[in-house]
Structure 1
Amino acid sequence: MAVLVVAVAVRRVWPVAAVVAAAVGTGVFLAWGAGPGPVLVMSALVVFSAGIRMAPGRFVVWVGPLVVAVGLVSQVGRPWWGWADGGAAVAVVLAVGSMAVPAGAGVFVRSRRESRRRAEAEEVQRHRFEERLRIAREVHDLVGHSLSVISMQAGVALHVVDRRPEQAAVALEAIRDSSRAALEELRGTLAVFRGQDGVERAPLAGLGRVESLVQELRSAGRGVEVVWEGEPVQVPGAVDHAALRIVQEALTNVVRHAGDVPVRVGVVFGEGELVVRVRDEGCGAGVVREGSGIAGMRERARAVGGRLRVGPVATGGFEVEAVLPLAGER
């Protein structure tokens, strides 16, 4: 009984030693001629705990032979250890049967815990992937738009540097301002993602910055019109930010692919939804090949429960339309 008590005490720290001690204590107790009684309860507790803490293969290798051995040792006082009258076989069956339930329960609990740990690990990996994707999207949208504007302004400066130096100076100032603003925003974004102390979490940029985006293009001689429709409502921060980034990426694509054509940006506050459209008056596109820019806009729209449509329009040109759900009140 003392050996069994020790086995129960150390079952969580040394499960193999506990199983061996429980087998020894139970075997001696039964060989002495006493009935099973409480020894089976303590043995079952040790087996259950071992099933939780030992790998299934290792558990069977250790526990199986020991249980069979205990069944045989219980017949030590009988002639031929019970082999002559079948008592040994019955004892082994009873021993295995009495330990099967706690053993199965222990293995089941271990399996559930491992499944839960795997699910938690997969969830952590999924969150990490989504966070990396979000950082990549932010950097792509911010840097891509800024570099497109800088490239456009540099082209203007090179075009007029000999004939109109004062206009080149204006373009160079715009390049300086755009690069400075982009660098500051990029530093703030990366600092927040890194969790640096002392960095204030500024509100996410939203549609209030559309005019500044458009002004950058207008300063380079682009014709951009902004039209606001509907009664403004309170837009959730995530939706507001997604709408801005979609407009920003759409304008970047116009600069890269459409050439010097007029552009119209429309923002419509509808019933329960926000619609943003960016349309140029270029020649459109025959086959739309979705690169990282369109894929990023689609992911942003989907992330807030919205949808995105891109493609040429019947009257000419190319349009990006995002329909985003609203939760704000008028």
Structure 2
Amino acid sequence: MRTVAVDAGLGVVLGAVAVVAVRAQVAFGHAAPWGREGAGPPWAGGPGPEWGQVTLGWGVWAGVALLVVAVAVRRVRPAVALVAAGAGAGAVLVGGGVVNPVVVVMGALVVFSAAIRMEPVRFLAWALPLVVGVGVLSRAGEPWWGLADGSLWAALAVAVGVAAPWAGAGVFVRARRQGRAREREAEVARHRYEERLRIAREVHDLVGHSLSVISMQAGVALHVVDRRPEQAAVALAAIRDSSRSALEELRRTLAVFRGEEGAALEPVAGLDRLEGVVEEMGRAGLAVTVERSGEAVVLPGAVDHALLRIAQEALTNVLRHAGAGAVARVEVAFEAGWVRLVVADTGAGPGAGWCEGAGIAGMRERARGVGGELAAGPGDGGGFVVRVRVPVEGGV
């Protein structure tokens, strides 16, 4: 509604100027021919226009009114605006007026706005007949409508030539807007894909780690349930604690992704929970040592969380693949502008021709997501090693 009000005000102003311009053109036409003594325009010392002899016909008033309406609705009803502008220009011509620059500007505004808001084919189907009609009406007072002397073709060329640049500019603006809209849609789609990938990675790491621990503890319970039931009870209690902890963390994670109120206020899991992961691994039968070096700095939440998940996934892989009796070591080192994470084990290591699985690929994506790099492979002395380096500000 505000758009129509603004455009209506613009149309009224342009319409008033157009009426004055048409009146001036008609008045000058009634003045004495220049070249006679005492004649000519006022700036040349002539008598000026004969305003008292000027009477505008109904066609001029109706035409200007239609042009005002066309300018007012050009952005909300472009097809209606085109018809009103064409009819208005035709009425001005038939009513005895002359298409002056102000009328041309009003029509050009309508054509430009319609070209922006209408499909090109639909715009051409509406605009071309109207422009041609205005060109034909401009020759209404000529014998055979200008066909006798060929002036009709010149009038049509002028009408199309005046409208074409404005139509072309509108089509160009429309194409630019559509291009920007497609870019925004592609950006939104990319963000949605990345968000889904992040959720999938988070759930994979959390559930995969928890299920690996639970599976290991369940195996221990089955192994000792008949001979040492007290140890089976310990393993079952560990399964209960691990599953409860996993469910709680999964609930918090999904609450953040769903945008639940208060969920974002909970701190993101980071390296401060590394000891808890180590204890859980210990209950599952994997001995893990943690070494920290360098002057610790406060890490960004995304970096802190990524390093914890990488360490968790690497230890889960050790639990799955390193074999019985393997020992793992986790090293967190703060260096100049970097934080380094190393997870190594003393297991048998992968055989020849090993290839990366989804777990390592996910860890690498997490490292890249925070600007870091990850390398994983067999250790020099056996086992398997995962190395991560992430840049941080404020490192010593």
Q: TM-score, normalised by structure 1?
A: 0.95
Paired amino acid for 1:2: A
Residue of structure 1 in register with 2:19 after alignment: none
Give the conservation status (yes or no) of the 8 Å contact 1:236–1:327: no
Pair 1:44-2:108 in alignment: yes
Pair 1:294-2:368 in alignment: no
User: How far apart, CA to CA, are the structure 1 residues paired with 2:79 and 2:270?
Assistant: 61
Give the conservation status (yes or no) of the 8 Å contact 2:112–2:169: yes
Pair 1:130-2:194 in alignment: yes
CA 1:136–1:80 in 2, change beyond 3 Å: closer, same or farther? same
Give the conservation status (yes or no) of the 8 Å contact 2:323–2:348: no
- 2:252 corresponds, among 166, 188, 192, to 188
**Structure 1 residues 8-157: aligned runs within 5 Å:** 8-37=71-100, 38-157=102-221
Work out which structure has the larger RCO, using CA pairs closer than 8 Å and 6 or more positions apart in sequence: 1
User: How far apart, CA to CA, are the structure 2 residues paired with 1:232 and 1:281?
Assistant: 27
Deviation, 1:312, is: 1.1
Q: Tell me how large the CA RMSD over aligned residues is.
A: 1.6
Deviation, 1:198, is: 4.5
Aligned residues: 330
Pair 1:316-2:379 in alignment: no
Paired amino acid for 2:82: V
User: How far apart, CA to CA, are the structure 2 residues paired with 1:6 and 1:280?
Assistant: 80
Cα deviation code 1:238-297 (max 9, x no counterpart):
111110000001111111222221211111111111111111222322334333211211
SS in 2 for 1:77: coil
Give the conservation status (yes or no) of the 8 Å contact 1:213–1:248: yes
User: How far apart, CA to CA, are the structure 2 residues paired with 1:60 and 1:47?
Assistant: 10
Deviation, 1:33, is: 4.2
Deviation, 1:65, is: 2.0
User: How far apart, CA to CA, are the structure 1 residues paired with 2:395 and 2:340?
Assistant: 16
User: How far apart, CA to CA, are the structure 1 residues paired with 2:131 and 2:171?
Assistant: 16
Cα deviation code 1:28-74 (max 9, x no counterpart):
22244432212111111111111111111111111112112211121
- 2:340 corresponds, among 262, 265, 275, to 275
Return 93-102 or 280-289, whichever deviates more.
280-289
Paired amino acid for 1:230: G
SS in 1 for 2:265: coil
SS in 2 for 1:120: helix
Residue of structure 2 in register with 1:201 after alignment: 265
Give the conservation status (yes or no) of the 8 Å contact 1:192–1:201: no
Q: What runs of 5+ residues in structure 2 fail to find an aligned partner? A: 1-63
User: How far apart, CA to CA, are the structure 2 residues paired with 1:144 and 1:221?
Assistant: 17
Return 175-184 or 156-165, whichever deviates more.
156-165
CA 1:114–1:34 in 2, change beyond 3 Å: closer, same or farther? same
- 1:304 corresponds, among 351, 370, 378, to 370
Give the conservation status (yes or no) of the 8 Å contact 2:289–2:329: yes
Cα deviation code 1:150-170 (max 9, x no counterpart):
111111111222222221111
User: How far apart, CA to CA, are the structure 1 residues paired with 2:192 and 2:264?
Assistant: 23
SS in 2 for 1:177: helix
Percent of aligned positions that are identical: 63
User: How far apart, CA to CA, are the structure 2 residues paired with 1:278 and 1:195?
Assistant: 33
Give the conservation status (yes or no) of the 8 Å contact 2:336–2:395: no
Give the conservation status (yes or no) of the 8 Å contact 1:225–1:265: yes
Q: What runs of 5+ residues in structure 1 fail to find an aligned partner? A: none
Paired amino acid for 1:78: E
Return 2-11 or 243-252, whichever deviates more.
2-11
